[in-house]
C-alpha cells in the first residue's frame, strides 16, 4: 500500500530519492498539447453582462460582427453564465471554421466598440494560454532602460558653408561622391565611396538625407561624416519617395515582400505587400499596401502580358504631408491621414472614372477661405453621355471647389504652379472625327474669387511639354506637329512663351503669347528655381542637343508690341552638349548642370556645368558617368521683406563675396604657380643627378659625353636651314559645258 | 606650317621612326612595305620590299646604315639603308612584334609574339655596324619570358645595362642585358591594359610608356619608378618624348575602330596631344588623321614630328616658332636665373 501524504515526513521521507528523478524532459515530450486544435478558437472579452434570457439576443448581435471575419454559427459561440449572479460573465468563446478565419477575426475585430460603454477584446485562445497564464508574464514592473543621450550629427551642416556653395553628388562607375561646386575649378570632393548604392542615389526633398538603394532595403545618410542615419528594411526595394517634410518615406518593390515570422522590423502584416510607408524618425513601418493593377487589359492581342508602367509616386503627398493619397484608377481616391495612416473618414472618395490627380504643391490661399485646407485637382474622361470633368477638391472637407466640363478629350495633364496660385490643365482634344489633335489650356486661377478659369485655345498643335515659372505666373510650352506614320525623324517642335498682360492693381491679367520660336527640336523645359531664366533644350536625341538659355526679364530695350506684357524675352546663349540626357538647376538658380548619362547611352558620358546665362564653366567627360544631382536646400528662412532688402542692396552684399572670389582665384593661381615651380625644380634636380651618374659611368667606360655626341650631330647640320615652300598648281583637265 | 602628308602606304601604319639626324623617316605598315622618306619635304627616298606579311616594327641604327624590320611573316630582316639590299633574314616560329637597336648600334633585339605553344621571347644579336660584314644567325642571348605576361614592347637602356619590357597586363619589367636575368617589375599601368609603346629619352635614362588605360607614364630606367603620368581621354597607342630643350611629350591614340559606333572624327579623338613633360598638363592637340594614331615619333634634333595612322597616312609636322618659344612663367624664371 502506498503511503499517503500525511504519513510522510518531509524530512525523513524514504521516497525522496525516487521523487527527485528529473522527469521534465519526458514530461515535455509526452505532455498533451492542449493548444493544438484550439487555433480556431477566439476569446472575446469586454462584453456586456446580461441575464440568461437576453443572452440569445446578445449572441445574435455579436454574431453579426463575428461573421464579418469568417464563418461561425450560434452553436459555436459559448457564453458561460456566472452561477452566483445568474448573468453572463462578459466573455465568450467562439469557434471559427478555420484557424485563418480566427486569426482574421483577431485582426479585424480586436478593439471594436459595441456601444459607448463596451469595447470588445478579441484574442486567440492559444494566446490566452500562452500569455494569460499566471507566471508567464513577469508581474513586476521593470522600468525600461533609457539609453543615454547621444549627440547626433548636425544634419544641416552644409548650409553653413561660409562661401554659400552648393553640394552635388556624382555617380560614376561604382563610385558615389559628394562634392562642393567650385564653378570652373575641379569640384572639391567631400566624400567618395565605392559601391555606396546598388542602383542609384537620391536626395531627400530638403537635402537632409542622401538615399541609397540596396537589395535589402533603403538607407539614409547624412551629417558631416556621411554616417548612416536610418535604415529601412524593404527587401528588393526599387523606388523610394520622401514626403515633402522628410518625416515619412515610401518604398516600393516590384516583387511582393515575403516576410517570415520573427523578422525584427517587418511583421506578417507586410507579407505580400509592395509599398511600405515608414516613419523616418523611428524607422518603423506605419502601413503597407499592395500595388494596384491599372484598369485595362492585362494581356495584349497575342495573349502576352502587357508591361504596365507603374505610376510613381503612387502615393502622393499633400504639401504639408498631413495627407497622402492614392488613386484607384477609374474608381476612387483614397486619402490617408498622417501620422497614423488611417483612411480619412474610413472610406475612399468615389470619383467615377478618375484618371489622374495632383495635390497642390503649396498650401492654397483661396479668396476668403480662412479654414485649413489642402487641395487636389483631378480629371475624369467622358463617360457615356457625361462630359469629361476637371475638378478641384478641398481636403478634409471633401468639398468640390470647382469643376469644369470638357468635350472631345483624349488626354489631360495637370500642372500646378509652385505656389498653388494656378493649376493649368493641358487638355489634348481630338476633332470629332478623332483624327487631328489640338491642345487647350484650362487655367484655374485658384487664388481668385470663385476660381475663374481662363482658356488658352490658340494652340493648333499638340503640346508635348509645359512648365510654369516657379514662383511666377509665366509659362513655356513646346508643341510638336503631326508626324506621318513611320517617319524616321521626330517632328520639328515650336517653343512658345506666355505671360499675363499688364493689369491694374494686384490682379493678374489675361495670359498672352509673348513669342513662338518655330523649327526647333527642343523637348525639355527647365526653369530656374527662382524663375525668370529658363533653359529650353533637346535631350535624349541622337541628332541635336542644343540648350537655349532664355531670360524673361531682359533689362535691355523692350519691343513696342510687347509693352503690355509682363515680360521681356531675350535669348541669352545657345550651348550644346553632345548626347545630353538630363538637365538640373542648382537650388540657388546660379548654375545649370547637364549630364550625358551612361544609363541612357554610352557616348561621351559626363557632365557640363553652365552659369544661369549659359556660359560654360566646366566640361568633364567621364567614363561610365551615371548621375549628377544637386543637393536641394530647405526653404529660405528670410521673410519676404528681408529678401527684398537683400535684393535692393545687392551690390553691397555681393562686394564681400566678390572680394572673396578674387582672393580665392589669386591664391589658387599662386598655388598653381608654386606647384609648378616645385615640379620644375624637382625635375631639374632629378635630371642633374641622373646625368652626372651617367657621365661618370661613360667616362669609366671611355665613352664621350652625351652632350658632345649631341654637339656632333648639330655640326652636321650647317645651321642654315632654309625653308622654301613652293606651291604648284596643276590643271589636270579642263572641260567646258554649255548649259542652256 | 602646313603638314606634309606621306601617302605611300595602302594600309594602316604600324610604326614610324626617325633617323638619328632626323633627316629620314622610316615607316612600316600592314601592306608589307617599308618606306623611307625625306623628312624635310616628304619625298620618298625608297622602299624595302621582301616581307611576306603585315609589318609591325622598324628601327634604324644610330649611323643610319642598317635598318631592321619585323612582321607577321615571322621574320626579322636587316637591310642596308642606302642601297635597300636585304642583308639577313631571321626566321621565327611566331611574328616579330618589336625590333630595336641598342644605343651604340652594336646590338639588336627582336620580340616574338606569344602564341599557342610559343612563349614570348626576346632575341638579342651582336651586330657589326659595317654592312659588308655578315650578321650572325645565332643570337647572343635569348630571354624566354614564361612567368610574366606576354611582351608587347622592349628596348635597350643606356649603356646596354638593361632590357626594359612592356607587357600585356600593363606592367613594365627590367632585365639584365648581359645575363638575361629578370631584375624587377613595376605594375604601373592599369591591370590588363597593355603597354602599347615604349620610347626613350635622348640619353635613355628615362622612358615613356603608352597604354590602353588612356595614360602615358614616364619611368626612370634604373628604378622603374613612375616619374610623371599624362592622362588622356582615349586609349593610347604611342607616346614620344620631344628632345631637350623642349619639355614636351606627344601622345597618340584613339578609339579603336571596332569600339567606335559612329566613326565621326568627334567620336574617335584621333588627335596628337601635346603635354608638358614636367607639369603633366595638356598644351595642345593636332588634328588631321581620320583614324586612330598608331605611332608617333619625334625628330631627334627636335625640328618636327610625324604620326602614322590607321588611315594609312603618315603626317609630318614641322614645328612653328611658337612651339620653340612657348614657356611657362616658371620655366622662364628658371632660365633667367640660370643665366645669371
The residue range of the domain holding B279 is 1-11+240-340
Indicate whether B245 belongs to any domain: yes
Higher pLDDT, A290 or A505: A290
Look at residue A303 in the predicted model and tell me its pLDDT. 59
Spacing of C-alpha B314 from chain mean position: 14
Q: Which three cell numbers stand for residue A420?
A: 498653388
pLDDT tens string, chain B, 340 residues long: the values are 679 999 999 999 999 999 999 999 999 999 999 999 999 999 999 999 999 999 999 999 999 999 999 999 999 999 999 999 999 999 999 999 999 999 999 999 999 998 878 899 999 999 998 888 888 999 999 999 988 899 999 999 999 999 999 999 999 999 999 999 999 999 999 998 999 999 999 999 999 999 999 999 999 999 999 999 999 988 999 999 999 888 999 999 887 766 555 444 455 678 999 999 999 999 989 988 888 999 999 999 999 999 999 999 999 999 988 888 888 888 888 888 877 6
Å between B174 CA and nearest CA of chain A: 18
Q: Is A716 on the interface with B (CB under 8 A)?
A: yes
**Comparing C-alpha atoms, which of B288, B335, B282, B281 is closest to residue B309?**
B288
CATH number of A315-457: 2.130.10.10
Most A CBs within 10 A among B268, B318, B330, hence the mutation to make, goes to B330
Name the residue in chain B with its Cα closest to that of A716.
B21
Residue A12's pLDDT band, with cuts at 50, 70 and 90, is very low
Q: Could you report the per-residue pLDDT of A310-334, keeping only the tens digit for each?
A: 778 889 999 999 999 999 888 899 9
- Tally of structural domains, chain B: 1
* Interface list for A 638-697 with B (CB within 8 A): 673, 676-677, 679-681, 683-684, 686, 690-691, 694, 697
Contact between B21 and A603 using a beta-carbon 8 Å cutoff? no
CB B38 within 8 A of CB B45: yes
For A274-360, strand residue ranges (E) read: 275-279, 284-289, 316-317, 323-328, 332-337, 342-343, 349-350, 356-359
> On the CB side of A22, how many CA atoms lie within 13 Å of its CA?
2
What was the pLDDT predicted at A480? 87
CB < 8 Å to A621, chain B: 233
pLDDT band at A492 (very low <50, low <70, confident <90, very high): confident
pLDDT > 90 fraction of chain A, expressed in percent and rounded:
34
Q: What is the mean pLDDT of chain A?
A: 84
The pLDDT score that the predictor gives to residue B66 is 94
Residue of A nearest to B318 (CA): A723
A706–chain B Cβ distance below 8 A for any pair:
yes
- The helix-helix angle for B329-339 and A650-701 (nearest 10°) equals 50
CB pair distance less than 8 Å for A701 and B159: yes
Residue A44: per-residue pLDDT? 87
Q: Give the pLDDT of residue A254.
A: 87
- Give contacts of A681 with chain B, Cβ < 8 Å: 334
Q: Which of B291, B295, B303 is nearest to B263 (CA)?
A: B291
The average pLDDT across A89-118 equals 83
pLDDT of residue A96: 86
Closest to B273 (Cα-Cα) out of B264, B263, B283:
B283
Judged by a CB distance cut-off of 8 A, whether residue A701 touches chain B is yes
CB pair distance less than 8 Å for A676 and B330? yes
Domain A33-132, CATH number (from 3.40.50.300, 3.90.1150.10, 3.30.70.330, 3.40.50.150): 3.30.70.330
Quickly tell me which residue has 639626324 as its cell: B21
For chain A, say whether B159 makes contact (Cβ under 8 Å): yes
Q: Is the CB of residue B236 less than 8 Å from the CB of residue B256? A: no
State whether B220 and A690 contact (CB < 8 Å): yes
Q: How many CA atoms lie within 13 A of A623 on its CB side?
A: 8
Residue A10, pLDDT score: 44
Whether B203 contacts chain A with CB within 8 A? yes
| Nearest-CA distance A676 → chain B (Å) | 6
Confidence (pLDDT) at A9: 46
- Cβ neighbours, 10 Å, residue A426: 22
Between chains, do B278 and A686 touch, taking CB under 8 Å as contact? no
Option in B158, B202, B329 nearest A673 (CB): B329
CA distance A667 to A661: 10
- Among all residues of chain B, which has the CA nearest to that of A622? B233
Res B12: pLDDT? 94
**Mean pLDDT lowest among A128-137, A430-439, A695-704, B299-308:** A128-137
What b/e readout covers A299-325, taking b as 16+ CB neighbours within 10 angstroms? eeeeeeeeeeeeeebbbbbbbebbbbb
Q: What is the pLDDT of residue B264?
A: 46
User: Tens digit of pLDDT for each residue in A428-470?
Assistant: 888 777 666 788 899 999 988 888 999 988 788 888 999 999 9
pLDDT of residue A4: 46
Q: Is the preceding omega at residue A396 within 30 degrees of 0, hence cis?
A: yes
Q: A74 vs A62, A119, A280, CA distance in Å?
A: 10, 21, 47
Chain A residue with the nearest C-alpha to that of B264? A603
Output the pLDDT for position B215: 94
For range A271-297, the mean pLDDT? 84
User: Could B300 and A691 be called an inter-chain contact, meaning their C-beta atoms sit closer than 8 Å?
Assistant: no
In a domain, B211, yes or no: no
- pLDDT, greater one: A12 or B301: B301
Q: How far is A688 from chain B (nearest CA, A)?
A: 11
Residue A579 confidence (pLDDT) above 80 = yes
Q: Tens digit of pLDDT for each residue in A53-83?
A: 888 888 888 888 888 878 888 888 888 888 8
Q: Which band of pLDDT confidence, cut at 50, 70 and 90, is reported for residue A18?
A: very low
Return all residues near B274 (Cβ < 8 A) that are at least 6 apart.
Answer: B248, B249, B250, B282, B283, B284, B285, B286
What the block records as the C-alpha cell of A13 is 521521507
Chain A residues with CB-CB distance to B278 below 8 A: 679-680, 683
Query: Hey, CA dihedral for A19, A23, A24, A28, is it positive or negative?
Result: negative
A1 touches chain B (CB under 8 A): no
- Which residues of chain B are within 8 Å of residue A721 when distances are taken between CB atoms? 303
A163: closest CA of chain B, how far (Å)? 29
Q: What is the structure's pLDDT at A179?
A: 94
List, in order, residues 6 or more apart from A361 with CB less than 8 Å away.
Answer: A319, A416, A417, A418, A419, A420
Residue B88 falls inside a structural domain: no
Could you tell me if residue B47 is inside a domain?
no
Task: Give the separation between CA A418 and CA A735, rounded to whole angstroms.
Answer: 70
Confidence of residue A661 (pLDDT cuts 50, 70, 90): confident
What whole-number distance in Å separates Cα of residue A25 and Cα of residue A42? 30
Report the distance separating Cα A462 and Cα A458, nearest Å. Answer: 11
Which cell numbers hold the place of A339? 501620422
Contact A684 B334 (CB under 8 A): yes
Secondary structure class of B232 (helix, strand, coil): coil
B 47-86: CB under 8 A from A: none
Does the beta-carbon distance from A691 to B233 stay under 8 Å? no
Pull the grid cell for residue A104: 482574421
SS3 A270: helix
CB pairs under 8 A between A and B: 58
Q: Is residue B19 part of a domain?
A: no
Task: Nearest by CB to B158, from A673, A694, A723: name it.
Answer: A694
pLDDT at A600 over 80: yes
pLDDT score at B46: 92
Q: Which residues of A501-615 form beta strands (DSSP E)? A: 511-520, 524-527, 533-537, 546-551, 570-576, 582-585, 591-596, 606-611
Amino acid at each position: 500500500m502506498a503511503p499517503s501524504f500525511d504519513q510522510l515526513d518531509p524530512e525523513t521521507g524514504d521516497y525522496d530519492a525516487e521523487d527527485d528523478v528529473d522527469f521534465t524532459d519526458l514530461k515535455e515530450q509526452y505532455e498533451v498539447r492542449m493548444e493544438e486544435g484550439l487555433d480556431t478558437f477566439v476569446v472575446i472579452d469586454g462584453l456586456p453582462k446580461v441575464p440568461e434570457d437576453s443572452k440569445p439576443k446578445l449572441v445574435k448581435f455579436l454574431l453579426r460582427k463575428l461573421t464579418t471575419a469568417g464563418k461561425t454559427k450560434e452553436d459555436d459561440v459559448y457564453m458561460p453564465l456566472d452561477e452566483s449572479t445568474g448573468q453572463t460573465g462578459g466573455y465568450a468563446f467562439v469557434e471559427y471554421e478555420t484557424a485563418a478565419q480566427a486569426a482574421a477575426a483577431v485582426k479585424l475585430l480586436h478593439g471594436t466598440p459595441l456601444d459607448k460603454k463596451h469595447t470588445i477584446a478579441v484574442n486567440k485562445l492559444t494566446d490566452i494560454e500562452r500569455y494569460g497564464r499566471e507566471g508567464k508574464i513577469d508581474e513586476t514592473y521593470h522600468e525600461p532602460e533609457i539609453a543615454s543621450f547621444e549627440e547626433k550629427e548636425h544634419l544641416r551642416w552644409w548650409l553653413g558653408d561660409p562661401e554659400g556653395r552648393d553640394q552635388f553628388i556624382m555617380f560614376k562607375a561604382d563610385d558615389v561622391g559628394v562634392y562642393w561646386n567650385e564653378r570652373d575649378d575641379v569640384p572639391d570632393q567631400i566624400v567618395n565611396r565605392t559601391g555606396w548604392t546598388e542602383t542609384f542615389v537620391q536626395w531627400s526633398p530638403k537635402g537632409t538625407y542622401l538615399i541609397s538603394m540596396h537589395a535589402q532595403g533603403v538607407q539614409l545618410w547624412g551629417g558631416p561624416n556621411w554616417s548612416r542615419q536610418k535604415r529601412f528594411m524593404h527587401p528588393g526595394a526599387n523606388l523610394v519617395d520622401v514626403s515633402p517634410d522628410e518625416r515619412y518615406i515610401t518604398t516600393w518593390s516590384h516583387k511582393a515582400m515575403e516576410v517570415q515570422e520573427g523578422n525584427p522590423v517587418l511583421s506578417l502584416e507586410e507579407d505580400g505587400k509592395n509599398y511600405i510607408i515608414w516613419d523616418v524618425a523611428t524607422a518603423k513601418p506605419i502601413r503597407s499596401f499592395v500595388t494596384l493593377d491599372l484598369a485595362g487589359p492585362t494581356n495584349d492581342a497575342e495573349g502576352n502580358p502587357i508591361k504596365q508602367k507603374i505610376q510613381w509616386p503612387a502615393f502622393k503627398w499633400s504639401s504639408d504631408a498631413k495627407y497622402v493619397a492614392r488613386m484607384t484608377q477609374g474608381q476612387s481616391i483614397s486619402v490617408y491621414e498622417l501620422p497614423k495612416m488611417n483612411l480619412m473618414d474610413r472610406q475612399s472618395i468615389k470619383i467615377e472614372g478618375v484618371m489622374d490627380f495632383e495635390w497642390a504643391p503649396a498650401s492654397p490661399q483661396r479668396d476668403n477661405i480662412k479654414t485649413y485646407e489642402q487641395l487636389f485637382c483631378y480629371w475624369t474622361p467622358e463617360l457615356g453621355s457625361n462630359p469629361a470633368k476637371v475638378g478641384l477638391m478641398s481636403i478634409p472637407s471633401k468639398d468640390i471647389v470647382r469643376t469644369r466640363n470638357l468635350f472631345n478629350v483624349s488626354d489631360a495633364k495637370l500642372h500646378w504652379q509652385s505656389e498653388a496660385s494656378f493649376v493649368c490643365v493641358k487638355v489634348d482634344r481630338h476633332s470629332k472625327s478623332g483624327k487631328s489633335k489640338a491642345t487647350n489650356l484650362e487655367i484655374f486661377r485658384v487664388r481668385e474669387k470663385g476660381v475663374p478659369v481662363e482658356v488658352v485655345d490658340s494652340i493648333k498643335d499638340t503640346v508635348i511639354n509645359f512648365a510654369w515659372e516657379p514662383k511666377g505666373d509665366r509659362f513655356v510650352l513646346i508643341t510638336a506637329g503631326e508626324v506621318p506614320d513611320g517617319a524616321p525623324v521626330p517632328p520639328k517642335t515650336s517653343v512658345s512663351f506666355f505671360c499675363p498682360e499688364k493689369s491694374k492693381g494686384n490682379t493678374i491679367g489675361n495670359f498672352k503669347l509673348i513669342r513662338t520660336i518655330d523649327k526647333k527640336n527642343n523637348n525639355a523645359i527647365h526653369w530656374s528655381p527662382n524663375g525668370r531664366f529658363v533653359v529650353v533644350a533637346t535631350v535624349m536625341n541622337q541628332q541635336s542637343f542644343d540648350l537655349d538659355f532664355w531670360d524673361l526679364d531682359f533689362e535691355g530695350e523692350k519691343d513696342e508690341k510687347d509693352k503690355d506684357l509682363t515680360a521681356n524675352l531675350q535669348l541669352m546663349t545657345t550651348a550644346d552638349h553632345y548626347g545630353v540626357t538630363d538637365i538640373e538647376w542648382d537650388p540657388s538658380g546660379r548654375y545649370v548642370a547637364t549630364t550625358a548619362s551612361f544609363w541612357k547611352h554610352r557616348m561621351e558620358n559626363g557632365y557640363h556645368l553652365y552659369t544661369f546665362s549659359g556660359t560654360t564653366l566646366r566640361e568633364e567627360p567621364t567614363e561610365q558617368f551615371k548621375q549628377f544631382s544637386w543637393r536641394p536646400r530647405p526653404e529660405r528662412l528670410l521673410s519676404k521683406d528681408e529678401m527684398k532688402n537683400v535684393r535692393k542692396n545687392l551690390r553691397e552684399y555681393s562686394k564681400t563675396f566678390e572680394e572673396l572670389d578674387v582672393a580665392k582665384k589669386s591664391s589658387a593661381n599662386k598655388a598653381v604657380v608654386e606647384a609648378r615651380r616645385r615640379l620644375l625644380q624637382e625635375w631639374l634636380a632629378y635630371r642633374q643627378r641622373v646625368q652626372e651618374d651617367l657621365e661618370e659611368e661613360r667616362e669609366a667606360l671611355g665613352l664621350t659625353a652625351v652632350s658632345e655626341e649631341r654637339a656632333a650631330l648639330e655640326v652636321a647640320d650647317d645651321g642654315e636651314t632654309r625653308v622654301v615652300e613652293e606651291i604648284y598648281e596643276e590643271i589636270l583637265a579642263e572641260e567646258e559645258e554649255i548649259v542652256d | 606650317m602646313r603638314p606634309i602628308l606621306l601617302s605611300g602606304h595602302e594600309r594602316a601604319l604600324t610604326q614610324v621612326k626617325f633617323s638619328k639626324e632626323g633627316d629620314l623617316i622610316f615607316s612600316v605598315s600592314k601592306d608589307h612595305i617599308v618606306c623611307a622618306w625625306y623628312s624635310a619635304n616628304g619625298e620618298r627616298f625608297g622602299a624595302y620590299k621582301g616581307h611576306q606579311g603585315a609589318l609591325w616594327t622598324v628601327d634604324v641604327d644610330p649611323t643610319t646604315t642598317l635598318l631592321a624590320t619585323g612582321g607577321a611573316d615571322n621574320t626579322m630582316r636587316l637591310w642596308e639603308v642606302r642601297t635597300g639590299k636585304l642583308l639577313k633574314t631571321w626566321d621565327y616560329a611566331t611574328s616579330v612584334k618589336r625590333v630595336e637597336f641598342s644605343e651604340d648600334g652594336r646590338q639588336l633585339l627582336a620580340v616574338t609574339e606569344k602564341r599557342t605553344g610559343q612563349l614570348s621571347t626576346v632575341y638579342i644579336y651582336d651586330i657589326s655596324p659595317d654592312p659588308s660584314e655578315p650578321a650572325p644567325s645565332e643570337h647572343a642571348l635569348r630571354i624566354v619570358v614564361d612567368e610574366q605576361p606576354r611582351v608587347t614592347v622592349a628596348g635597350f637602356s643606356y649603356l646596354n645595362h638593361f632590357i626594359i619590357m612592356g607587357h600585356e597586363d600593363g606592367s613594365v619589367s627590367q632585365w639584365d642585358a648581359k645575363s638575361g636575368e629578370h631584375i624587377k617589375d613595376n605594375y604601373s599601368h592599369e591591370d590588363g591594359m597593355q603597354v602599347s609603346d615604349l620610347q626613350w629619352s635622348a640619353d635613355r635614362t628615362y622612358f615613356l610608356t603608352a597604354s590602353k588605360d588612356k595614360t602615358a607614364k614616364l619611368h626612370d630606367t634604373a628604378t622603374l619608378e613612375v616619374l610623371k603620368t599624362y592622362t588622356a581621354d582615349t586609349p593610347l597607342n604611342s607616346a614620344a618624348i620631344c628632345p631637350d630643350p623642349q619639355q614636351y611629350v606627344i601622345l597618340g591614340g584613339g578609339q579603336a575602330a571596332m569600339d567606335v559606333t559612329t566613326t565621326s572624327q568627334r567620336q574617335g579623338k584621333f588627335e596628337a596631344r601635346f603635354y608638358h613633360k614636367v607639369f603633366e598638363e595638356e598644351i595642345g592637340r593636332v588634328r588631321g588623321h581620320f583614324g586612330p594614331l598608331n605611332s608617333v615619333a619625334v625628330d631627334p634634333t627636335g625640328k618636327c614630328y610625324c604620326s602614322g595612322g590607321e588611315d594609312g597616312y603618315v603626317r609630318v609636322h614641322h614645328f612653328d616658332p611658337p612651339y620653340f618659344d612657348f614657356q611657362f612663367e616658371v620655366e622662364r624664371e628658371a632660365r633667367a636665373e640660370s643665366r645669371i
